[in-house]
Amino acid sequence: MTDRVVLAYSGGLDTSVAIGWIHDATGAEVVAMAVDVGQGGEDLDVVRQRALDCGAVEAYVADARDEFATEYCMPALQANSLYMDRYPNVSAISRPVIVKHLVKAARQFGATTVAHGCTGKGNDQVRFEVGITSLAPDMTCIAPVRDLALTRDKAIEYAEKHNLPIATTKKNPFSIDQNVWGRAVETGFLEDIWNEPTKDVYNYTDDPAFPPVADEVIISFEAGIPVSIDGVAVTPLQAIQEMNRRAGAQGIGRVDIVEDRLVGIKSREVYEAPGAMALIAAHQELENVTIEREQARFKRTVDQRWTELVYDGQWFSPLKRSLDTFIADTQKYVTGDIRMVLHGGRATVTGRRSDSSLYDFNLATYDSGDTFDQSSARGFIDIYGLSAKQAAARDEKFGQGPTL
């Protein structure tokens, strides 16, 4: 029986060319597997047929939209996942679900080798291969772009020579990855970090400089998960899709960033994540209302570490699982409503309410009815500042005090 390789297939240039490239280099048959994570745009039946037209012996599409939204996007939302405080891990959170289905397909088709279309410069090679190692340590993984010298110019040349049905050409050199959580665009003229993105870079968002009338929305959460929008019940997938539509119409969620890749390279990326950015902003504000101060302070550290682990391809790691447990515990009271105004590229919170709120009007008010005992403050300050007072006295004794 001819050896088989199961390829994680996106329908783009690199993975389409990789089908023939793998066969030519190894003699193995290639099974193409695409995972629907809500990338939209092209009909996935068309993507499947393209894989067959490019030489795959079998091709299929796994519908993972609800799974992705519920099991991957929602944990990212609960962790307020923003790499370098700006990027909502659009690609990073999709890789583990693709890996899961890739391994499942390899078992189904009797393959011991899997493949992906990542380069040797990017993060995704790590995310795929560490994920595969975690789920199937017995499997071998190859990367045609990295291991078989499939450079981008060679891929374009190969596609043109073999008349492969690929939209990407030398005139349209962008590398695009997208799913329901967002869209990532790189390469081409964007590699010159002085170049401003042109209008054709964007697809999920309209120009924020020319917004429609302001859009007010109420997002309701239960335990950190959005469950309704403007009173209409939604699944996690529906919540993301609805906020993509409404926030995207206002140009919300555009991110142009030079980020630190895991392999040590700085890379310029342009992202669009209207739904993710709006939902994270709403979730963070509800946490401000419902999570106790010290827990909230520590959670910000955990959120950052969780985000770095996921960005670095450690979705299945023991530490990430432990952090999942902490984050899940913090969400038990993150229930309530957030009112936001979406307009001109900004999602602005204008109202909050929750039955589990820690905000006490009578403690916070400066008007009559104030229940805060201000006489307690003096003793608190004396005790709170005691160690600093003692240290200052010692410094003064030895002439080390601050210069005035």
pLDDT band of residue 294 (cuts 50, 70, 90) is very high
pLDDT tops 80 at residue 159 = yes
Do 109 and 190 have their domain in common?
no
154/131 same-domain check: yes
CA distance 240 to 227: 11
pTM (two decimals): 0.92
Shared domain for 316 and 191, answered yes or no, is yes
- pLDDT category of residue 150 using cuts at 50, 70 and 90: confident
Q: Does the pLDDT of residue 168 top 60, yes or no?
A: no
Q: Residue 396: inside a domain, yes or no?
A: no
Write out pLDDT tens, residues 329-355. Answer: 999 999 999 999 999 999 999 999 999
Euclidean distance between CA atoms 220 and 225, whole angstroms? 8
What is the pLDDT, as a whole number, of residue 336? 98
How much of the chain, in percent, has pLDDT values that exceed 70? Answer: 98
User: Do 191 and 330 fall into the same domain?
Assistant: yes
What one-letter code names the amino acid at 234? Answer: V
The total number of structural domains in the chain stands at 2
Q: Is residue 373 part of a domain?
A: no
pLDDT at 157 over 60: yes
Judge whether 294 is annotated as a binding position: no
Residue 95 annotated among the catalytic residues of the structure: yes
Question: If pLDDT is split at 50, 70 and 90, which confidence band does 147 have?
Answer: confident
Closest CA to 59 of 38, 29, 37: 29
220 strand-pairing partners: 228, 337
Which residue range(s) make up the domain with 247? 179-353
Place of tokens 């088989």: 4
Q: Residue 14 catalytic?
A: yes
Mean pLDDT of 242-249: 98
Q: CB-based contacts of 34: which residues, under 8 Å, 6+ apart?
A: 9, 10, 11, 44, 47, 48, 51, 59, 60, 61, 62
For residues 211 and 316, state if they share a domain: yes
Q: pLDDT tier at 149 (50, 70, 90 boundaries)?
A: confident
Residues 37 and 124 in one domain: yes
User: Do 114 and 225 fall within a single domain?
Assistant: no
Q: Quick check: 112 and 139 in contact, CB under 8 A?
A: yes
Under 8 Å between Cβ of 6 and 115 = yes
326 pLDDT more than 80 = yes
Q: Which has the higher per-residue pLDDT, 97 or 172? A: 97
297 annotated ligand binder: no
My answer on whether 130 and 191 are in the same domain is no
What are the CA-CA distances from residue 207 to residues 86, 87, 188, 236, 279 (Å)? 19, 19, 21, 26, 20
**230 and 107: one domain?**
no
Buried/exposed 191-221: b ≥16 CB within 10 Å, e otherwise? eeeeeeeeeebbebbbebeebeeebebbbbb
321 is in an annotated binding site: no
> Is 44 marked as a binding-site residue?
no
Q: Say if residue 60 is in the same domain as residue 138.
A: yes
Catalytic choice (81, 175, 220, 354):
175
Could you read off the pLDDT of 67-92 as tens digits, one per residue?
999 999 999 999 999 999 999 999 99
CA gap 236, 74 in Å, rounded: 7
3 labelled binding-site residue: no
Cβ-based neighbours of 38, under 8 Å, separated by 6 or more: 65, 68, 69, 179, 180, 181, 237, 240, 241
Residue-averaged pLDDT of the chain? 93
Helix (H) or strand (E) run with residue 268 in it: strand 266-272
Sheet holding 215-222, edge to edge: 232-233, 225-229, 215-222, 336-343, 346-353
Give CA–CA dist 372/367, Å, rounded: 11
Catalytic, out of 4, 48, 65, 95 = 95
Catalytic residue flag (residue 354): no
- Is 294 inside any structural domain? yes
Residue 1 has pLDDT above 60, yes or no: no
Residue 269 lies in a domain: yes
State the average pLDDT over residues 152-168: 80
Do both 125 and 211 map to the same domain?
Answer: no
